Amino acid sequence: MPDIIQLLPDNIANQIAAGEVIQRPASAVKELLENAVDAGATEIKLIISDAGKQLVQVIDNGKGMSETDARMCFERHATSKIRQIDDLFHVKTMGFRGEALASVAAVAQVELKSRRAGDELGTFIEVENSAVIKQEPCACPVGTSICMKNLFFNVPARRNFLKSNAAEMRHITDEFIRVAMAFPQIFFSLTNNGQQQFHLEAGSLKQRVVQILGSQYASRLVQVKEEMDYMNVAGFVGKPDTARKTRGEQYFFVNNRFIRSAYLNHAVMNAFQEMIPKDSFPLYALFIELDPTQVDINVHPTKQEIKFEDEKIVYAFVQAAVKHALAQFSVAPSLDFTLNADIQQLDALNKPFTEDKQQSASGSDLYKTFTQKNQAHAIEGSSKKSELKNWQDFFTPAAEIGTPPASDLSIDPIGDLPGLSQLKAGVYDITATPQVVEGLYSLEAAGTRQVIENSPLLQLHYTYILVPMSSGFLVVHQQLAHERILYERYSQAAHSNHMASQQSLFPATLELAPSDAILLQDLLPELRAIGYHIEPFGKDAFIIQGTPADITQGNEKHSIELLIEQFKHFSSDIKFSKREKLVRCMARQQAIKTGQTLTQHEMSTLVNELLSCSTPNVTPTGSPTYIEFKEDYLDRMFGR
């Protein structure tokens, strides 16, 4: 029998190895940007074409390379940072294993130009499929320029697995942001298809965070800074009001390297405990600095997963640092010295709060009402001139101050609930006094089981609705049930392009972070199909001309921001279209939430519409909307 084991050809082995490092264009962006940082650059430019499939170019003004180094950098495991095994545990640079350029050259056509400050001419090298095609002297500025063209041109199967340009561009933007945030002292720019999307001037960490996340966060960040012999923690966390319902902007860096760590994220969540809702996620950009010997960064090819020597100490210190920062914010807000110095000279900021002014303020009756004991129900006599005069007007019966009778009201109180007020295609219910519709529960649910007509419904824990049936009862989850109702309504309207829309009398302007603006621009056609009328309004800004009929006026900006967040973090094993994702996100966003009180009429409408759905028993994600308790099951529980 002949031998069957043989060595792979170098080009195939290189392509297999490259697959661990270069999984998509964003992987190459990360590696090339980190190389530019390691080269000591103060300016780094990233140029993208066709979401990186056609071109990824990184230009830096770093120290450049000699002719020999320029040739050697494409060899696998060729590195300037490791000489002996002990060096691996003292690495402070971004790259060190010598895989990046070799991996890029194995799956793309690469052109490199590089020159050192002391050299008259630089070096030009062209590499394709791991083979050097051309090498010659060239004129170029000090630093290095690397072009990666036609990614996976020699591995078409890998290229076919790349996602849409918008999706790949979001991954590229994420990698760009992670490197740019870690090095605020370096200028970064990102140009996509000839249009500059990021222009990040060198500055402080706070300036870089605001440049990336958006100017709306300038006054909503809390500084974190704690130091000890073992480690340091610095950075910023968002104030509690910046928390979002989905995982928003969360960044951890260890020795300036971006990492993913559910363990450390749990530490931050614990620090925010009881300050934000349980289902919300805080914003943070935290930098951990510790001895490289205390952390192993060589556990994953992308180096985004690491191991700590003593992770319990790191967890406790991160949690304590964030808690301390939040406590300081609550007790002693500080002035922002990055603002214009003239603001600090304003008259109102320089006047001392003298003893006379303190006594004058604390001596007022209004001050005593809020500070002294036993004052909660104290009302001054009419003979004394009071600072609380006319307080009785707050308790004047509505009929005495001209409120129209109930028959004149035009909007159903059900309008307080998003989505329920606009029955079927966004038309308002203008009944005067809502009553439970006769025969509302004559519908059949799940075969022959019938809901008992005109029976009062019971809301339990402001979450569940108990619905009597002829054969037992249903326990309906109000949020999940409403999500199913809205999903079917939005889905039908979106796919027929007949979603009801209301035009804004005063259009709102929405400013987004550059990465979110890229995503929203890509989603505009699908958003129009579900009732949004949004138009670009300058760089990273949009104007909201109209919204779906179910969206409460004045809440347009928040609903779109939340929609973008949910879309970014939409998780599913099934590949959905953009429109389907938006419909699902809209239904989840606009559904009434647990903890909200419902009237009999609102519960009736909810149950009625749920039982009218084509698939009433589950949400779009498969969670049950109700659970049925049969009479015979109840009898067995009581031994009958």
Q: Which helix (H) or strand (E) holds 327?
A: helix 311-331
Question: Which residues of the chain fall below pLDDT 70?
Answer: 10-11, 13-21, 77-99, 248, 296-306, 330-451, 497-498, 571-574
Separation between Cα atoms, residue 314 and residue 428, nearest integer Å: 55
Which pLDDT score is estimated for 149? 93
The pair of three-digit structure tokens given for residue 34, joined into one six-digit string = 């980190």
Tell me if 99 sits within 8 A of 76, measured CB to CB. yes
Q: What is the crossing angle of helices 100-107 and 10-21, to 10°?
A: 120
The pair of three-digit structure tokens given for residue 301, joined into one six-digit string = 């090819």
Which residue in 109, 183, 121 sits closest to 149, CA to CA? 109
Which residue in 48, 51, 23, 16 sits closest to 33, CA to CA? 48
Which pLDDT score is estimated for 494? 77
Which pLDDT score is estimated for 295? 73
Q: Residue 465 pairs with which residues in a beta bridge?
A: 459, 476
Q: How far is CA 596 from the centre of its chain?
A: 25
Which residue in 122, 78, 124, 136 sits closest to 102, CA to CA? 78
Residues 6+ apart with CB under 8 A from 588: 483, 566
The pair of three-digit structure tokens given for residue 273, joined into one six-digit string = 């405990």
Tell me if 186 sits within 8 A of 45, measured CB to CB. no
Say how many C-beta atoms besides its own lie within 10 A of residue 368's C-beta.
Answer: 12
Which residue in 508, 502, 494 sits closest to 582, CA to CA? 494
Separation between Cα atoms, residue 326 and residue 224, nearest integer Å: 8
Which residue in 596, 588, 581, 595 sits closest to 619, CA to CA? 588
Which pLDDT score is estimated for 334? 43
Return mean pLDDT, the chain: 77
Q: Indicate the CATH number for domain 10-200.
A: 3.30.565.10
Tell me if 582 sits within 8 A of 530, measured CB to CB. yes
Does domain 205-331 fall under CATH 3.40.50.1110? My reply is no
Which pLDDT score is estimated for 547? 86
Order of strands across the sheet that contains 541-548: 501-511, 541-548, 533-536
In the chain, CATH 3.30.1370.100 covers 440-628
Which pLDDT score is estimated for 90? 54
Residues 6+ apart with CB under 8 A from 208: 180, 181, 184, 200
Which pLDDT score is estimated for 369? 55
Length of the chain in residues, anyone? 640
The pair of three-digit structure tokens given for residue 80, joined into one six-digit string = 């300037």
Identify the architecture of domain 440-628 in CATH: 2-Layer Sandwich (3.30)
In the chain, CATH 3.30.230.10 covers 205-331
In the chain, CATH 3.30.565.10 covers 10-200
